[in-house]
Every structure is written in structure tokens, then in C-alpha cells.
Amino acid sequence: MGSGSMVFDRAIAPALAIAGQRWHAGELSVAQEHFASQRFETLLRDLLRLSPGASADARVVLGSFADDEHQLGLLGTAIRLADWGLRPVLLGARTPPSAIRGTVAAVSPELVALSVTLPPTRVRARELVEEYAAACGTVPWLVGGAAAASVGDLVSKMGGHVAPPTTKALYELVRSLTGGTRKASARVPTKRRPQRSR
């Protein structure tokens, strides 16, 4: 696991979860939640700039669904993909299919990764998934995020992939979709076995 992914998994993601829980419980004001989100976003963008994939040749385009305001999880995914040797082209929140189409044409990525955190209505989900599939063309694409399962059947029907729940499975999927041609020195994280005392 790269250092950026390690920082995200061990420190930032748990802190985000706590902040979200406290906001839902009414223990944080909207202003406090926004302030915390901005600080986290700044930190994640700094980590992304320092990642091994920041100057890689192989690119991955990342964006949130067109109606989705959230992008902190997307930034965490960008850091993970960068640790695996892909150069993130981050489009951020509320990315319409037309932006994906234009970016795919401009940068010829090896992968498109989309995030959806709040389930869209079924009609809207079908519309967006069909448009994203057309926008990606022949480029492999996947959808992750808290609401990915709600659109998973539509994504699969249109030739996309739903991000698996574990880091190892995601790594294997990304590797298979991109042909396993990464030049990254980072490897998928594995749990270290405790050393036996002698």
C-alpha cells in the first residue's frame, strides 16, 4: 500500500466517518461540517499531488455522478489509483456525462471511475448510466461509492463494473481492466503477519 492510501485508510476515512456521524446526530453544525470537509479536501488534494501516479503516463478519469455533491471518497479513490500507477484526472463533484465524453476524447484514459454516494431515482439512474456508458465508449469504466449497489444492475447491463468492497478485489479489477500494464512500484496491501518471537 502506498503512503497516501495508508494515510487515507488509517486516519482520514475514520475521521470522515466520525464527522458524518456527529453531523447526523446534530452534534456538528452545517458550518462546522463544511469547514471540516474543506480541510479534509485540502489534505487529500495535497496527498494526491505527492502520489507516485501524479506523473504517470497511464491516466484514469474520475468524477462523481451528475447530481452528486460529494467528492471526498472520490479523492480517496484517486489516491489509491495513483498509488497503483495510474495518473488521476479528477473532474470532481457533479460531473455530467458530457464532461466524461470530452475528457475521454482529450486524454485517452485507460479507465473511468465514477462515484455515487446518494441513490438517484430509478429513472434518473437509468438515464445517467446509459449516458455514462456512451460517454466512456470503449474505455473500461466502473462505479463505486456508498450508493453503487443501487445502480449496480444498470451498470453491469451497460458494460460497466461495480467497484468491489475490498481493496484487494478493487486492485485486481483495476489491473484486469487496464491490462495489468502498470509500472507502479506499489503493490496491493496485504495484512502483515506478526513475527514470531524466537
Is the distance from CB of 161 to CB of 177 less than 8 angstroms? yes
**pLDDT for residue 38:** 83
Beta-bridge mates of residue 161? 142
Block mean pLDDT (10 aa), the chain, length 198: 75 80 84 82 82 81 96 91 93 97 98 96 98 98 96 98 95 92 45 44
Give the pLDDT score at 16: 78
CA distances from 101 to 94, 111, 131, 172 (A): 14, 13, 9, 26
The three three-digit cell numbers of residue 172, written as one number: 485486481
Q: What is the CA radius of gyration of the chain?
A: 17
C-alpha–C-alpha distance, residues 101 and 137, integer Å: 8
Quick one: cell of 30? 452545517
Is residue 25 classed as helix, strand or coil in its secondary structure? coil
> Which grid coordinates are listed for 128?
445517467
**pLDDT of the residue at 21:** 83
- C-alpha to C-alpha distance for 152 and 56, rounded to whole angstroms: 30
What confidence score (pLDDT) does residue 196 get? 45
pLDDT in the model for residue 194: 47
- Which pLDDT score, from 0 to 100, does residue 54 have? 66
The rounded distance, in Å, linking the Cα atoms of 53 and 57 is 8
